[in-house]
Amino acid sequence: MAALALPASMLLCGCSNRVDRIVGNERLIRGPGGLGTTVGIVSIPSRDSHVPRNSANFGPALLLGQSGSFDALSLFKVSTWRLPALTLTGFTPIAVHFVLPQRQILGTGTGSISADLSLTSAPWDSSVSWPGPVLGASLGSTNFDFIGDLRVNLGPSGFSEVQQWAADPSLAPGFALIRSSTGTVGSFQASGAVFRIFYQYTGPDSTETDSIDTHMSLSAYIHGPMSPPPTGTETAMIFGGEFESGLALRAPVPPITDGSSVNELRFLLPVTGTAPAIDGATMPDTVFLSVDIYRIRAPWTEGVTDQATLTIDASPTSHLVLPQFLTAQDTALSIPLPRVLTREWGADSTSNEGVLIRIRDVTVRPSPLVLRMVQTPGESPSFLIGSRESARPPVLRFSTTTPPPGRF
Amino acid sequence: MCATPARANSVFSAGGLGEPSLEENARLRALGGAGAAENGPSSCSMVNPASIAEASYLWIEATMLSTRRSISTNDFGSESAYESSFPSVRLVVRLPGGTVLGGSYLAGTDGQFQVDRAETTGTASRLRIDGTGGINFARVTLARRVTGAVRAGIDFDIVSGSFREEWRRDFSSPSLAQARDTLEADWDRLGRWRLGLQYARERFALGAAYETARRLPLTFRQRTTGSEVKTTGHTLEIPDGYVAGFSVALGGRGHVVGQYRRQNWNDESLKSDLVDFRALERYSIGLERAARTMGGRFDKLPLRVGATFLKWPDLLPRAGAAEVSGGVAPVDEWAVSIGSGLLTPDGGGSFDFSLEGGRRGNQDELGARETFFRLALSLRVSDETWK
């Protein structure tokens, strides 16, 4: 029997290297309606506008200066001061400096920024907006030529003032760094701003010199409004740039049948050109964009001049790192939206107020020697996107597949 | 040494209830599946609950089936491949007082299939479907000898299983996300009864069983990302049916068995535009030459031959038709079989095999024809084996 069973099992259980499975293509019969159809539909926005962001920017970069219609100042706040030990033998304060490291050189880096450091007369918080809080006493000034750190010497009375601020923080509710010159803008590290106290004391063998830093508890910059303000009728919308313009887009989505799959929901934004950054830096050949997509929850009109007036979710619906954009050959930014929005917007068109697309950061390769540099939208050039009023409007493209037919 | 398990599901499983399974062990498969009159302490049939009435103590039996199929189709060429399945497993124990209790799991139909094809309706895509499931039964059996010649048994079947399909559609454009859908046809797990009788004398035996119908509420679900569509209000009726068979001794070593089985599927069993139904009918006949305890090597082995003819209950749309209104065609199947086996010296355990070959489907009517070869292996272990 083994002689019979063994060859038979080899025949029937053997390793097949021909066809792994039999497919039922010939007998897949599911009625005259087919097996489900995928269709793509394109719609043009019913509303679109670029919308600047005028609220205080608490990002990694602090912008300071003026160029064209852009004007920015930086604000700081200290919650806890750090003082040297006054009991050190021979303690002598030397100077107090406000130090603000440079982040990036925008444009050519020529020229200089004259800036004044002042107290603010009242505390400020995240609701602060241009032109900022009323200023108090001036603490010092500087002329920064884009080399090294920006430094403001608080002068001979600096240390005693810091002692007073430490003893009574209400005396220093905030600080403002304001340009007094025109034509240049600098970018500084928000996390690097400090008040640095230099002092001397008598050490075991000689006089020692040391310093102690007090870091800012809050740093931000604010800028003036975009001029001219957006009207909603521009043929080119500004995406990014010093005013951190986002794109508010709303396009109709027709209902989809129950059970359909959503294969695509995507804005295609035609790039009609680029605009230089503040201080003239042009768009490099290769750009990586990281964008945030916020869902807009309430009706809005074209020509809105501040993103703060849009009712958007507190956190982005999605965050995307877009594929490399080659400015010389790519003609459109392709921004996929969460496909789940299709189903909701299709079921209830009143829920579709569109999205706000913001640039989170721009990664550029400025030269063969610099592999990558991450910039905030305020530091980088901007894209010009064709609007629905132009010959190359943005489009919302979506694809759905009707549900497959049932087995019975 | 072998690659991943091959898949060779019936091409006709892409529609309807799937391939009807012969749930018998390898010994009865070699006899064409004729087991209604099967009786005795060391043999039993799945179709007649009375057949386990003489079981001694405890035994467990499992059957494995390996199948090689080749199909020829009108429009999609020819293919061949292999599959393995487990049509049944059974546990039987004799209770004090002479009643025998059995528990088993058996496959009713196999709805497994695959589809892999290009779709050009709308945006071009590649469509892949993996279908699984079928109708299965979990069964509890009670049987006992009523008189010296009469045995009676009763089954309670829980109708389990479901049909499930995973649809996956891939697009050449990277901007289009894959479409994934799940289709499920599920039913309430309800039970039905099967009643069996046997009348056995020294030279012959008669057996018959009747199974009751059961209407099962059906639920269809279609799911994709962010959406689920549920449809109720349909029913699947597992029909009533019966089986009748005989066993007649031929001389000292041989006996011939025969059986007719019918399940009354009809167009009310499941309302659908894609499948219609007729009664399932299976005709089986077999001849067994028992093993000698003395003699040559081959005399010590039993020899079994059989044949069966099966009418699938599914009436499927004809080739070229999109649904049953365009005409239906039956799936008829025939198979011949041969087998043998070994019995442990104490008669409690056994190892049996059968080789089967057959064909189903008419290519002119259905667009496809299937030829199959099957090897069934059954292993039974009993308390006698452990003594």
Structure tokens at A211: 């310093």
Question: What is the overall mean pLDDT for chain A?
Answer: 91
Cα dihedral across residues A61, A65, A70, A73: positive or negative: positive
- Domains of chain B and any CATH numbers: 11-386 (2.40.160.60)
| Residue A14 confidence class, pLDDT cut points 50, 70, 90 | very low
User: What is the tally of helices (H) and strands (E) in chain A?
Assistant: 3, 25
- The pLDDT assigned to A16 comes to 36
Q: Is the pLDDT of residue B4 over 90?
A: no
- The pLDDT assigned to B278 comes to 98
Q: Give the mutation candidate from A10, A25, A266 for the B interface (greatest B CB count, under 10 A).
A: A25
Three-state DSSP at A393 gives coil
The CB density around residue A195, as the number of other CB atoms within 10 Å, is: 26
| Residue A34 confidence class, pLDDT cut points 50, 70, 90 | confident
List, for residues B213-261, the tens digit of each pLDDT value: 999 999 999 999 989 999 999 999 999 999 999 999 998 789 999 999 9
Rounded to the nearest angstrom, the minimum Cα separation between B123 and chain A is 5
- The pLDDT assigned to A368 comes to 66
- Residues in B closer than 8 angstroms to A17, CB to CB, are 3
Give the predicted TM-score (pTM) of the model: 0.84
ipTM, 2 dp: 0.87
- The pLDDT assigned to A12 comes to 40
List, for residues A67-118, the tens digit of each pLDDT value: 999 999 999 999 999 999 999 999 999 999 999 999 988 877 788 999 999 9
CA distance B307 to A105: 90
- Contact flag A264-B176 (C-beta cutoff 8 Å): yes
- The pLDDT assigned to B384 comes to 59
Best CATH choice for the domain A38-54+230-401 from the list 3.60.21, 2.60.120, 1.25.40, 2.40.160: 2.60.120
- What percent of chain A shows pLDDT beyond 90? 79
Rounded to the nearest angstrom, the minimum Cα separation between B134 and chain A is 12
Least confident of A207-216, B163-172, B219-228, B287-296: B287-296
Question: What is the overall mean pLDDT for chain B?
Answer: 92
Q: Domain spans of chain A?
A: 38-54+230-401, 61-223
CA distance B169 to B124: 10
Q: Is the pLDDT of residue B5 over 50?
A: no
CA distance A402 to A404: 6
CA distance A405 to A378: 52
Q: Is the pLDDT of residue A290 over 70?
A: yes
- The pLDDT assigned to A339 comes to 87
- Tell me, rounded to whole angstroms, the distance of Cα A323 from its chain centroid: 17
Structure tokens at B228: 């689920």
Q: Is the pLDDT of residue B125 over 80?
A: yes
The pairing of strands B276-277 and B303-317 is antiparallel
- The pLDDT assigned to A366 comes to 61
- Contact flag A408-B185 (C-beta cutoff 8 Å): yes
List, for residues A233-257, the tens digit of each pLDDT value: 999 999 999 999 999 999 999 999 8
Q: Is the pLDDT of residue A45 over 60?
A: yes
- Residues in B closer than 8 angstroms to A336, CB to CB, are 175
- Contact flag A261-B180 (C-beta cutoff 8 Å): yes
